[in-house]
Amino acid sequence: MTTATSPTAASTTAAIPTSRVGDAPTAQLLRLVAEDEHFNLVPVGISLHYFTDPARTHCTMSSAQIHRATTVLTKQVKAVLTGDHRLETVRGLVTDPHRTALPDGTTARQLCGNGWAAVRSIADQRAGAAVEGASTFGEAAILRLAATRAAMPQCPWWGTRGWTLLVDNWARRDTGIGRRSIAPMLLAPEDADESVLTAILDG
């Protein structure tokens, strides 16, 4: 059965990740989200959609920097999702130039450099579409759909099974790494040494 798309629904496209050619069907991704909710896929998906994807396009960062920044934002998003007016708060967070983007205190504007204006504009557009979409579909639906971005097998970001597997593979490659070295990588990879984080991501 074919369902017509209303103008309001169409306007939320930027907020709702949809499957592209070669990607898993959206229904399949939603099942993955349901199975993987304890891995905090909602804040990961929001961080990827509002910051990481545009930052990769408009900013110059190493793989370690972008992973660090995504992890920091994921934890910040997770914190604000426990309060009231969640989507509005997220919008304010991802568009704040003074938001701490790296553990050393680097701000979002400093990290993105000349690309910040573009990153902020995209983040504001997407976050605004999410707020608008929530009035039609409900906030829970928007958040759950956003999480599909983190359910992709090719998204090994902190907070997903993919990251756990990367760390496990890294530990298997280096027999000198003990369990005490693995735990910080699973809990706070944003604080890891550059060489260690790069070695994990290159795995």
Beta bridge partners of 100: 107
181 in a structural domain: no
- pLDDT, tens digit, 9 for 90 and up, residues 184-200: 999 999 999 999 999 99
**The pLDDT value given to residue 119:** 98
Is position 6 within any domain? no
- Establish if 112 belongs to a structural domain: yes
In a domain, 29, yes or no: yes
Domain of 145, in residue numbers: 24-152
The per-residue DSSP string of 17-37 comes to: ----TTSPPHHHHHHHHHHTG
Confidence of residue 8 (pLDDT cuts 50, 70, 90): very low
Instruction: Write 187-192 long-range contacts (CB < 8 A, 24+).
Output: 188/71, 189/67, 189/68, 189/71, 189/158, 189/163, 190/67, 190/68, 190/71, 190/72, 190/102, 190/103, 190/158, 191/103
153: confidence class by pLDDT, cuts 50, 70, 90: low
Looking at the domain assignment, is residue 30 inside a domain?
yes
Percent of the chain residues past pLDDT 90, beyond the cut: 57
Tell whether 158 is covered by a domain.
no
Average per-residue pLDDT for the chain: 82
Indicate whether 186 belongs to any domain.
Answer: no
pLDDT of amino acid 9: 38
- Number of structural domains (the chain) is 1
Instruction: Decide if 187 is inside a domain.
Output: no
